[in-house]
Structures are given as structure tokens and as C-alpha cells.
Amino acid sequence: MIESREIIDPLYDRCEAELFNPPAASWKDEWRKIRDDFLAVEQSQYKNPSSERLFRQRFQEPGTVVFLLRDTLIKKVVGFTYSIPLVNYAAGNGENFRKDIEREDDGRKTAYIMSTVILPDYTGHRLSPKLIGTLEDFLKERRGYRFVEFDVTKENGYADKVVENNKDRIVAGPISHDSSLGPQVFCRIKL
């Protein structure tokens, strides 16, 4: 009889999620340290990547939470995820903001995950759930959020995986829709 055991994945083990939240006085210096790696991650996934200016602006807005995924062996940023308060997303007329969803918290205890991106060489190692899980724990424990909302791409079956992994926590969705980034699925989940 073969005993089941956990699969060891050195890539998973050496990648760590870290909060990017430098003080205002050192923000520019800290951004410069990760800038090239960060933008390379963004450019690896999108034909029309977001601009550095947009990230610099968003990351300094009150309530934004940014986690980096760092490969500790090579000391490079290989992924990131970030969220903003849902009320900020709605106020900014976010492209995918769902007005048809009933929210018992009126969005005040909800974060919107704007993006999660990992370099292609690092996909398939369960790093996305590791990174998003770290963000969700922080949002719940340190910021008092009770829900997160997100729109996830259908490309490569990614939305199906995300929905399956969160099926017991989904309180609204999954709702398929088109966006400027292509076909996506919306979900609201309980933390």
C-alpha cells in the first residue's frame, strides 16, 4: 500500500509573501528597490500593462494593501497582489463594479482585489493561493474586513480554479461578464 504524503515543492517553499507598506518618507526609495521586478511581473501577463504611474498613485492611497511574492533564493519579486477598499473602487467608478449585488455591509467591510499576478515560470506551484491567502488574512485580522470581491480572468481555466477553491465562501457570484481584459468572473467571498 502506498502512503499518501504531501508533495514537496521547493519553489513554493522558497517564495514568501511580504507586505509592501513603507513609510511615506522612504516610499520612493523602497519603490525603486522593487520597481524593475514589479513592472516585469505586470508586463509578463498583460498586452497593455498598467503604467508605473498608476501603481505609484494607487499604492500610496489610503486603504490600499499590497503584498509582494518574493523568491527568497534569488531575492526577486516574482508576483504581487493588491486590494483597495470597495468604497474607493465604487467611488472611482471601477470598470467592473457590480451595482446589482446586495451587500449587507454597504461595502464598508469589503476590500476589492484589484490584481494578482505571478510570473509565468512560477505558475502551477500554488503560489497564487499562498499570496492571496496572506492578503485575505491581513485584510481580516488587521483591517477588519469581512468580505472581498474580485473579477478573475477565465483564461487558462483560472476562474474555474478560483471558484472551486472558494466555493464554500462565495456569497455572491460567480457571475460571468466581459471586460476590457477579456472574459471574467465576478465573486464576492466571506473572509
Helix then strand count (H, E) for the chain reads: 6, 7
Quickly tell me which residue has 470598470 as its cell. 95
- Arithmetic mean of pLDDT, 9-33: 95
- pLDDT for residue 114 is more than 90: yes
pLDDT digits (tens, 9 = 90+) for 23-56: 999 999 999 999 999 999 999 988 888 899 999 9
**Structure confidence at residue 95 (pLDDT):** 66
- The answer to whether 113 touches 81, Cβ cutoff 8 Å, is yes
3-state helix, strand, coil in the chain (%, to 5): 40, 30, 30
**Structure confidence at residue 52 (pLDDT):** 93
**Is the preceding peptide bond at 10 cis, omega within 30 degrees of 0?**
no
SS (H, E, C) 49-69: CCCHHHHHHHHCCCCCEEEEE
Domains in the chain, ordered, with CATH?
Answer: 10-190 (3.40.630.30)
Strand order through the sheet with 15-19: 15-19, 65-71, 76-85, 110-118, 147-153, 182-190, 170-179
What is the chain's alpha carbon radius of gyration, rounded to the nearest angstrom? 17
Of 38-47, 55-64, 88-97, 157-166, minimum mean pLDDT range: 88-97
Q: Quickly state the pLDDT bin for 2 (edges 50, 70, 90).
A: very low
- pLDDT for residue 3 is more than 70: no
Q: Quickly state the pLDDT bin for 4 (edges 50, 70, 90).
A: very low
SS3 91: helix
Closest by Cα among 58, 30, 66, 31 to 138: 66
- pLDDT for residue 80 is more than 50: yes
Query: What predicted TM-score, i.e. pTM, was given to this entire model?
Result: 0.90
Q: For residue 139, which amino acid is it? A: L
- pLDDT for residue 153 is more than 50: yes
